[in-house]
Amino acid sequence: MRSAPRVSRCVREWLAAGSRAVVVGVHSRACHLRLPGGRLMVLVAADVPLSPNGVAADVGAAAWRRGQTVALGADDLDAAEIWEPRPRVGRLAPSELADRLRTPRAMALAAGAGGSLLPLLWASWDVWGIAVPARRLCAAAIRGTPAAVAAAAHRLAGLGPGLTPSGDDFLSGFAAAWVLVGESVGLSGAARARVTTALCRGARAGASPLGWAWLAHSVRGELPEPMTRFASELFSPEPRDLGRSLRGVLAVGASSGTDWTVGFLLGAAAVLESRSW
């Protein structure tokens, strides 16, 4: 690898002793590499926002080939800026957090991507068969019933188009809300883990490789860079103007950012209604 100006803290830990990886996907400005043990690393151009499994470097990714083996030395990352993908979460009263979430909801409805899961926020109209399992996921999380959470997640994983299907993006947003909103308002760690563990168990078989990688990070509160920026402002001790950071989230992919936002908003609502208080 050439110089790596920015690297997620997670990847820096994975490669602390160096490793080898196999290129499993090549895109115009990114490469996907499979590390020993199955972890997926995303190598992107230096000006592309980082993901929790990402490295941003000027490496000419488009010239790489699927199946190519790449040596990843720890020395390559010594000079890199380490980015933390888990936002800081301040403690907020449930009523305060509910008030703060009204603006992102309104903005998502006004500016979210077409062809996304936005209708789930305001109507029962179905998209790719997602509406029913999405409602069941919310209800199961509120009740704290792991078997029902897993069943709903199994139905959602992999649904819809895209490199990360809409169902995967939705689940990542939902899991992120359950972890971070739950932490902010004081939901117990056991109650949060009960839902996120079941969600991962249900989603594992059907999620896309990249969707699964991001979901596995989401249940630890580790998010892509635009989502981390939004969450840091949402959970700040003093109220912030969330407009700019949410626009950054909505701009991710063709509809991935919007689908993630829908999952996050419905997950946050489920936390606030949870019977685990």
pLDDT at 128: 79
- Right CATH for 6-83 from 2.160.20, 3.30.70, 2.40.50, 1.10.10: 2.40.50
Please give the Cα distance from 277 to 264 (Å, whole number). Answer: 19
Mean pLDDT of 171-179: 98
Each residue's pLDDT tens digit, 186-206: 999 999 999 999 999 999 999
| Residue 275 or residue 152, greater confidence | 152
Each residue's pLDDT tens digit, 201-226: 999 999 999 999 999 999 999 999 99
Please give the Cα distance from 82 to 266 (Å, whole number). Answer: 31
pLDDT at 182: 97
pLDDT band at residue 59 using 50, 70 and 90 as cut-offs: low
pLDDT score of 269 more than 90: yes
Mean pLDDT of 227-250: 97
Q: What's the mean per-residue pLDDT of the chain?
A: 93
* Phi, psi values for residue 36, rounded to 5°: -55, 135
pLDDT score of 20 more than 90: yes
pLDDT score of 123 more than 90: no
pLDDT at 94: 96
| C-beta separation of 172 from 215 below 8 A | yes
pLDDT at 60: 61
pLDDT at 64: 82
CA angle 93, 95, 100 (to 5 degrees): 95
* Phi, psi values for residue 18, rounded to 5°: 80, 165
Count of alpha carbons within 13 angstroms of residue 98, beta-carbon side: 8
pTM of the model: 0.95
| C-beta separation of 100 from 272 below 8 A | no
pLDDT score of 13 more than 90: yes
- Where do the structural domains in the chain lie, given as residue ranges? 6-83, 94-273
The rounded percent of the chain whose pLDDT value lies above 70 is 95
